[in-house]
Amino acid sequence: MSTLGSLKAQVVDTAFRLADGRRMDSPPHPIDAIASYHAHVYFDPATRDQAETLRQRVAERFSVRLGRWFDTAIGPHSRPMFQIAFRKPLFPTLTPWLMLNRGDLSILVHPNSWNQRLDHMQHALWLGPPVHIYGERLSEAPLDDDEQDPNTAPGLTP
């Protein structure tokens, strides 16, 4: 290959390189790489009441696993938060319900796949303004304790 040709190939290679080290033209990830989802609901002193209300309303309407309530930042999370762990079939109802009802809260919805860091930093979607995530604190392995057993007893239709 000519020098110009090899330089061009290098530029194209860099341009196609994704955050996860793969190339844009490599085969796409299959949908079954996703095992389950989390929604992290972030709050601060001004929005703590909204977070409590949202948690209660989710519990009344969705069969999910509500995580512990953290009033201080923990792990990769830079703000107080609680987690909603849920199974794949709930995504098309819980996600739009959170869109409509998040109020002033920021929510990170992420899949659980083969790499927790990518799940939070690359594969995620935000409802509301993004909150800083300490990506360097996240493992590049899958979630080892993917606890999805619901701990809510919903009685209301979303």
Q: Which run of H or E residues covers position 42?
A: strand 36-42
Q: Does 79 bind Zn ion (CB under 5 A)?
A: no
Instruction: Tell me 128's DSSP state.
Output: S
How near is the Cβ of 86 to Zn ion at its closest, in Å? 11
- Piece of 23-31, 35-43, 125-133, 147-155 that binds Zn ion (CB under 5 A): 35-43
C-alpha of 89 from chain center: 16
* Pair 146, 37: CB distance under 8 Å: no
Binding mask 118-157 for Zn ion (x = CB under 5 A): ----------------------------------------
DSSP β-ladder status, 36-42 and 65-70:
unpaired
Radius of gyration of the chain from its Cα atoms, rounded to whole angstroms: 19
- 85 burial (CB, 10 Å; 0-12 / 13-18 / 19+) is buried
Q: Output 8 or 110, the one with its CB closest to Zn ion.
A: 110
Q: Output 27 or 42, the one with its CB closest to Zn ion.
A: 42
Binding mask 36-75 for Zn ion (x = CB under 5 A): --x-------------------------------------
Interaction site with Zn ion (CB under 5 A): 38
